Amino acid sequence: MLPKKSYKSTLLLDLDETTFIALDELEFKQHGNTYESIRKLKRIHSQHTLSNYIVNSGYYFFVINPDKLKTMIESIYEAGDDIVIFTSGLWLRPVLSIISQLCNLSEKASYRFNQSLFLNPQHDSEKLGLPQKNIASLLKAYRLHGLFRPVPELRDTHFVLLDNDRNHIASCESCFYLDGVIATTDEDDMRFYDEVLETMKLAHREGTRRSPSSPCYYYPEVILKTMIQLGIQEMEEEKAKMGIYFPQT
């Protein structure tokens, strides 16, 4: 008898205003004297806890709800699931070590978290052949759907996107393998941590839909149109740079 296939889910974890907030030197000088001032600047509801800060590369990093984040991350790994960082910001991998320290992850969880696949505009620009500015503004469900061919690690899995941007969450409706959970850090509501865990647990069922398992796959019309438009836009910008203009007829 063949062994039963193990199904899993992957959390796509946003960073800014979902996992942490980062203040530059000027912002910290003007607002860093109280947590209340910091929350107001970054639109974080007063019921959400901020960690102590770590300074790195000129930024002051505060993790949002460090205890709840720790529980969520460690629970995901204990369940045999995975985490992928999915950010529109130009952050680099070293921020994962900062997050690990500020929410005091266990040694085992910290190691896995620091090894997470890190999808930022720099990485995805190279994979998709689009400018970083377009990647940063692209709805995340659309961006994810374009990555299955160049990033095989993303194939054949169920995803949960945790993001404070409601537009990104709304875009999940275009992809049957992707569930969105709003990180309501701007509201008096912290249920989203448990919602992520529950959604990922349900995805262990055999019938749960998953991302394409092959590099040849279908694009929903709305995503295809967006990608084509971005390609046209890029060509027009390149023509303009070279001084190539076509008269309107």
pLDDT, tens only, 81-135: 999 999 999 999 999 999 999 999 999 999 999 999 999 999 999 999 999 999 9
Task: Give the whole-angstrom CA distance, residue 31 versus residue 228.
Answer: 43
Task: Give the whole-angstrom CA distance, residue 96 versus residue 85.
Answer: 9
Task: Examine the pLDDT at 3 and tell me if it is beyond 50.
Answer: no
User: Quick one: pLDDT at residue 233?
Assistant: 80
Task: Give the whole-angstrom CA distance, residue 36 versus residue 54.
Answer: 18
pTM of full prediction above 0.85: yes
Q: Six-digit token pair at 30?
A: 């003007």
User: Quick one: pLDDT at residue 6?
Assistant: 65
Task: Examine the pLDDT at 2 and tell me if it is beyond 50.
Answer: no
Please answer whether residues 75 and 197 qualify as being in contact, where contact means their C-beta atoms are separated by less than 8 angstroms: yes
Q: Report residue 246's pLDDT band, with 50, 70 and 90 as the boundaries.
A: low
The 3-state DSSP class for residue 195 equals helix
The strand ranges marked E within 80-225 are 82-86, 117-119, 158-163, 178-182
Q: Enumerate residues 6+ apart whose C-beta is below 8 A from 209.
A: 158, 176, 177
Q: Six-digit token pair at 74?
A: 């460690």
Class in CATH terms, 9-17+66-241: alpha beta
Strands of the 178-182 sheet, one edge to the other: 117-119, 82-86, 9-13, 158-163, 178-182
User: Quick one: pLDDT at residue 207?
Assistant: 79
Q: Enumerate residues 6+ apart whose C-beta is below 8 A from 52.
A: 62, 102
The strand ranges marked E within 9-157 are 9-13, 20-24, 50-56, 59-64, 82-86, 117-119
Question: pLDDT per residue over 168-196, tens digit each?
Answer: 999 999 999 999 999 999 999 999 999 99
